[in-house]
Structure 1
Amino acid sequence: MNNNIKHCLSKIFQPMTIIPKNSNLSRQQVTSKSQRLMLELGIIQQSIPGCFHLLPLGLKSLEKLIKIVDDELFKIGGQKLLFPTLTKSQLWEKSGRLEDVGPELFQLEDRHKHSYILNPTHEEVAGELLSMLAPISYKSFPLRLYQISNKFRDEIKPRFGLMRGREFIMKDMYSFDVDIDNAKKTYEEVCQSYNNIFDAIGVEYVKIPVLGNSGTMGGSLSHEYQFKAQIGEDNVLNCSSCNYTANTELCGDHKCPNCGETTINIQCGIEVGHTFYLGDKYSKVFNATYVGKDGKSEILQMGSYGIGISRLLAASLEVLSSENELRWPSVLAPYNVIILPPKSGSNEETPTEGRATDLYTKLENMIPCLKNNVLLDDRTSLTIGRRFVDAKRVGYQFIIVINKKTAQEVPLYELNDIKNNSQMYLTEEALIDYIKKNIRMNQT
């Protein structure tokens, strides 16, 4: 970025609105606080029920999340690609899922009356790709292919904004291994990678692996990653006697199936990730094979691993935010610091001229993780108070106010640490040092 170009709030497309309590949109479609706040504060805008425009601040946050995921998957040998969204219905017929998943699939015909699907997931597509290249030498495995792309699901009742929509952004990885032992090793490595991703984000999740229902995906083993939240649609059972943890869809809600204990804890959760060991369910159907050391052709073992990227973003805000103010995980905040210069025409304007832009530059240069993460609220026709309220509602952790104390012989800056609910007046050096010590950013 050119050093003379700064991120200025007046240049950001952020249509802020208030949803009246008596509006039809409020009663029928806004079903969670994260959805309401993201709409009101210009993070998203609804297009049709279940589909949303992701506006500049929302997209900036999403790109940070994608980088965290990319970095972690690279460490375990993940290779990023992009599958086609539109595929022939015959693939799903061949796997047997067309009938099982039918009502949730967006299906269409082209001008030649050929049937297609807008994919919600790509097990069939990945299996077919490997079959087209089969047989492949055993030396090429393990193979871990993933994408981050838009998916489609015909939700009967879209709700909770980005958490349950008709169009959503998902990371889906498909692993291929030569035998069960290696496939399960891959499964364990991906699960650990998921732990690293959720640890980096910093929102509390259920640490003990949650056994999940494989459902129409199939396979013999699956685990869910759940954020604890009252709005969550899943119920997670945990047994304090044996640490068994599972979705009640799998195990019921009366007792622990592992040890028989009836004193159990059940909490609501938002599923943000799911891993599946598929075995040969898809690779056998599509004849995805490899050639072993002995020259014989064998069926590959598959795994499937999903993270709802857009859902994860909204779920993080749902867990952390208050009813009236967004709160971002530090690593996902569109900007971490916002600077508020004085109102135009105020007594503080002339004596502090240039202070805001100088501080902006120093923060970016002296704290590497703040590069492109500092915002200047240059809407100086508005009062400091109005801009402060906006900044607090949008959820910037550090709000710096340039005021009369900054005009003193020894300039002091008003620093508001929203996360820690504290306000202080600091010299420039002390302010930079405080932010450096208190900001939590992804360092991968």
Structure 2
Amino acid sequence: MSQLGAQRVTLPMLGSAAMWHKTGRWDALGSEMFRLTDREDRQLCLQPTHEEEVTRLVSMTAQLPLRSLPLLVYQLHWKFRDEPRPKYGLLRAREFLMMDLYSFHADDACARNTYDQVLKLYSSLLGDTLGLPWIRAVASSGCMGGIESCEFHVLTKPGEDRIVRCADCNEPCRNSEGGRIALPNCLSPAACRAEFLTGLEVGHCFILGSDRYPAAFGLRLIDQNHHRQREQRLLSMACYGIGVSRLLAACAEVASTDTALRWPLAVAPYQLAVVSPKAGAREPRLSTETMAELVQALGDAEFNPDAPLVDDRDQLTIGTRIRDHRLWGLPCSLVVKASVDGGISCEFVDNYQPDRQSERATVASAAEAVAIARTFIASISLK
């Protein structure tokens, strides 16, 4: 979000019925919305999304000049939806963590420019950063309304969405209701050869325009002289969401095996775990000072954003601890011992590919061990 110049905010979980009635969505969302009544009989809800709330917040700004646009705000926050069939753990839950971004623009052309930028960032996140099989599909805007929307899906068997794709031009479109779907950008719609994929929706982007939310809250542009323009031009709005908790579950579903939990390196809880010999074993252990120096050097390395996990369960064998690391989703285990010449004996184990030969090396310093760890971890693959 920092690449887009977005500002982070935290919006209320509770929302008033009066605010939702302004856009007509209090009734449109039906039983999906958790509703409650306070002691003064005012109707409230646990907000499933925050378009109304953020528009109300921006509309409270006394003066919003043209030079302040586009205005982008985002949050990482919990959402609540009364799912009729919550299942598969984090894949479909009634409470979930979401990253939602909202943007406000002088016109629809500016909104589309930001929309295109966000689509590129989402594509890079799913494909380049996480390495997931994904597809972007044209989608209905539903009760959100607006001009255009698209969904991002991770292709996985537990997915509940059916994606129709032309086998010739790869143009996709979500098919949520069954039947024949027209692919709007297909190169040969008359002769389209449709194929069906199963996907799990992890992101949804909308160009909302100005008719629903800015119009409901009177969100209008102020000119450079801080006077309301005579044409009373409404701002144009867009919104974007990624289900963070669902995306984590999708990562685990796609990457894991029957015997090991595997995470993309970008979201692994630790890049590597440091293991020393079992207490009482014949293998010589590193001194406390040398171990501390090694752990500090690994924690300071740019490829490892957090300090490594030091697995000091010395009552367990090395093999038992490495098997646990595979169950925990740790990409690499580093077994360290003291060498005969006073150096550090290292063994790097790829927990994602158990058949891969471990890499052994004896180094004279922690810096040398870090250099080998950097190369070894970079070579770890989910494929």
Which of the five TM-score ranges fits, normalised by the shorter chain?
Answer: 0.7 to 0.9
Say if 2:218 is the partner of 1:287: yes
Asked if the contact 1:255/1:264 (under 8 Å) is kept, the reply is: no
Equivalence for 2:171:
244
TM-score of the superposition, structure 2-length normalised?
A: 0.88
Give the counterpart of 1:372 among 288, 300, 306. 306
Equivalence for 1:393:
327
Greater alpha carbon shift after TM alignment, 339-348 vs 108-117: 339-348
Distance 2:129 2:80 in 1: 25
Say if 2:340 is the partner of 1:408: yes
CA deviation string 1:73-123 (max 9, x = no partner): 111121111111111011112211111112011111111111101111011
1:312: how far off? Answer: 1.1
Relative contact order higher in (CA < 8 Å, ≥ 6 apart): 1
Instruction: Give, as a single letter, the amino acid of the residue that structure 2 aligns with 1:131.
Output: S
Instruction: Give, as a single letter, the amino acid of the residue that structure 1 aligns with 2:360.
Output: Y
1:212: how far off? Answer: 1.4
Distance 2:110 2:183 in 1: 31
CA 1:302 to 1:401, structure 2 compared with 1: closer, same or farther past 3 Å?
A: same
Distance 1:122 1:393 in 2: 37
1:220: how far off? Answer: 1.8
Equivalence for 1:417:
350
Equivalence for 2:86:
158
Asked if the contact 1:184/1:277 (under 8 Å) is kept, the reply is: yes
Greater alpha carbon shift after TM alignment, 179-188 vs 426-435: 426-435
TM-score of the superposition, structure 1-length normalised?
A: 0.76
Asked if the contact 1:254/1:262 (under 8 Å) is kept, the reply is: no
Instruction: Give, as a single letter, the amino acid of the residue that structure 2 aligns with 1:326.
Output: L
Between structures 1 and 2, the one with greater helix share? 1
Distance 1:134 1:250 in 2: 44
Q: How many residues align?
A: 364
Equivalence for 2:295:
360
Distance 1:414 1:197 in 2: 32
Equivalence for 2:47:
119
Instruction: Give, as a single letter, the amino acid of the residue that structure 1 aligns with 2:147.
Output: S
Asked if the contact 1:213/1:249 (under 8 Å) is kept, the reply is: no
Give the counterpart of 1:335 among 270, 273, 276. 270
Aligned-partner SS, 2:298: helix
Distance 1:331 1:253 in 2: 39
Aligned-partner SS, 2:359: strand
1:254: how far off? Answer: 6.4
Give the counterpart of 1:229 among 133, 137, 156. 156
1:279: how far off? Answer: 0.7
Distance 2:182 2:258 in 1: 35
Equivalence for 2:196:
266
CA deviation string 1:239-262 (max 9, x = no partner): 132332111127845674641334
CA deviation string 1:125-160 (max 9, x = no partner): 112222222552222211111111111111112112
Give the counterpart of 2:9 among 70, 75, 81. 81
CA deviation string 1:361-420 (max 9, x = no partner): 33234x2232523111011122222212111211211111235xx443365322102234
Asked if the contact 2:173/2:181 (under 8 Å) is kept, the reply is: no
RMSD: 2.3
Distance 2:375 2:336 in 1: 21
1:303: how far off? Answer: 0.4
Aligned-partner SS, 2:58: helix
Q: Give matches, 1:274-353, under 5 Å.
A: 274-280=204-210, 281-292=212-223, 295-296=229-230, 297-348=232-283, 350-353=284-287
Asked if the contact 1:276/1:305 (under 8 Å) is kept, the reply is: yes
Equivalence for 1:145:
73
Asked if the contact 1:253/1:266 (under 8 Å) is kept, the reply is: no
Instruction: Give, as a single letter, the amino acid of the residue that structure 2 aligns with 1:346.
Output: A
CA 1:396 to 1:368, structure 2 compared with 1: closer, same or farther past 3 Å?
A: same
1:440: how far off? Answer: 4.7
Asked if the contact 1:239/1:261 (under 8 Å) is kept, the reply is: no
1:282: how far off? Answer: 1.1
Give the counterpart of 1:433 among 355, 363, 371. 371
Instruction: Give, as a single letter, the amino acid of the residue that structure 1 aligns with 2:156.
Output: A
CA 1:255 to 1:222, structure 2 compared with 1: closer, same or farther past 3 Å?
A: closer
Instruction: Give, as a single letter, the amino acid of the residue that structure 1 aligns with 2:217.
Output: F
1:187: how far off? Answer: 1.2
Asked if the contact 2:277/2:285 (under 8 Å) is kept, the reply is: no
1:351: how far off? Answer: 4.9
Asked if the contact 1:212/1:223 (under 8 Å) is kept, the reply is: yes
Instruction: Give, as a single letter, the amino acid of the residue that structure 2 aligns with 1:146.
Output: Y
Equivalence for 2:19:
91
Q: Give matches, 1:8-19, under 5 Å.
A: none
Aligned-partner SS, 2:191: coil
Distance 1:278 1:400 in 2: 50
CA 1:401 to 1:76, structure 2 compared with 1: closer, same or farther past 3 Å?
A: same
Distance 2:62 2:196 in 1: 46
Equivalence for 1:102:
30
CA deviation string 1:268-301 (max 9, x = no partner): 1111111001111211122111124683331111
Unpaired segments of 5 or more residues in structure 1?
1-72
Instruction: Give, as a single letter, the amino acid of the residue that structure 2 aligns with 1:309.
Output: V
Dislocated runs of 4+, deviation >6 Å: none
Instruction: Give, as a single letter, the amino acid of the residue that structure 2 aligns with 1:290.
Output: L
CA 1:167 to 1:199, structure 2 compared with 1: closer, same or farther past 3 Å?
A: same
1:360: how far off? Answer: 1.9
